[in-house]
A = this chain, B = another copy of it.
């Protein structure tokens, strides 16, 4: 589905054009068309493939989701695929955005992701001085928008880690902690594989051997690269702390176990003493004078209670109870 198809001249919006008019614009040196597609079908893509002379393999990649983020050069043209990552509650959703750019045109193809790039277009149109750099600036603007949308995801992962950290040293929450840590690790891996390959592309477009199309936008792509480096550092920290937290969790389980054991041992000792005493006075010896005492029974109960009490206080002091 075509979302937009607009011609620009010297950084200013000219007007919406139909696909048939694109050909006329292409020859014009200071103009370019920016077409935005959403979930296009094969026929639509074939149409644009013909108009812009796109490479067959790139078109295939744009149609099939699930590509790896990457940058490819086909002669003067560039082809970028990026992953858009959004968090819906606990679920991480990934959508693909493919951008074709060449002299005089940009074609962005969005798959699945619900959130469009209308605001990006508006922002670009507000800065004709920058949009004058042409298709390369549009690539930058899209990439920048996508990378900016990674930050809330990273922050959500960091917040989740912090919330687990608070819980981890609290007794009796090990099982939940583990499940959450495992989920966190998985999501971190997914974000990493969605975001990180893009930094290679951004690095290339800000490097020395930059493609001709992007010669004037190097600083902008360096900025994107920099954002990706921050995300990488954050993801790295989350990943490493997750691993550590899983280990710590295991240790906490073992420590809690140890405390349960000590308590168990202490109570067992207390009960055992009472049992032995009851056993002793239950023996059938003929000559057990205390059995005939008037206060023998209450005394016996007192002795039993006393012995238990003494043990209880001892264990309490030793921190076993």
Contact = CB atoms under 8 A, between A and B. Distances in A.
Interface of A: 55, 57, 61, 66-68, 70, 72, 74, 165, 168-169, 172, 174-175, 178-179, 181-182, 185-186, 189-190, 193, 197, 219-220, 222-223, 226, 229-230, 233, 236-237, 240-241, 243-258, 260-265, 267-269, 271-276, 278-288, 290-297, 300-301, 304, 319
Q: How many copies does the complex hold?
A: 5
Contacts of A255: 174-175, 178, 253
A201 to B, nearest CB: 12
A260 B254 contact: no
Contacts of A223: 57, 61
Contacts of A248: 178, 181-182, 246
Majority SS at the chain A contact face: helix
A278 B285 CA distance: 11
A282 B260 CA distance: 32
Nearest to A250: B251
B174 A169 contact: no
A247 to B, nearest CB: 5
Given A68-B226, A70-B229, A178-B252, 5 more contacts: A57-B223, A178-B248, A185-B244, A282-B282, A287-B295
A241 B185 contact: yes
Contact of A278 (B178, B229, B245, B283): B283
A187 to B, nearest CB: 11
Given A169-B179, A244-B246, A258-B257, A288 B279 contact: no
Contacts of A190: 237
Given A193-B237, A260-B262, A261-B264, A279 B271 contact: no
B275 A284 contact: no
Given A175-B255, A182-B245, A258-B257, A276 B278 contact: yes
B219 A74 contact: yes
A258 B268 contact: no
A172 B320 CA distance: 11
Nearest to A196: B233
B274 A279 contact: yes
A75 B179 CA distance: 51
23 contacts: A66-B230, A67-B226, A70-B229, A72-B219, A169-B175, A172-B319, A174-B258, A182-B245, A185-B244, A190-B237, A193-B236, A197-B229, A257-B257, A257-B258, A257-B261, A267-B269, A267-B272, A274-B276, A275-B275, A285-B291, A286-B291, A286-B296, A287-B294
Nearest to A172: B319
Given A222-B72, A258-B260, A278 B282 contact: yes
Interchain residue pairs A-B with the least CB separation, the first 9: A278-B279, A271-B272, A281-B283, A285-B297, A264-B265, A282-B282, A250-B251, A253-B254, A285-B296
Contacts of A67: 226, 230
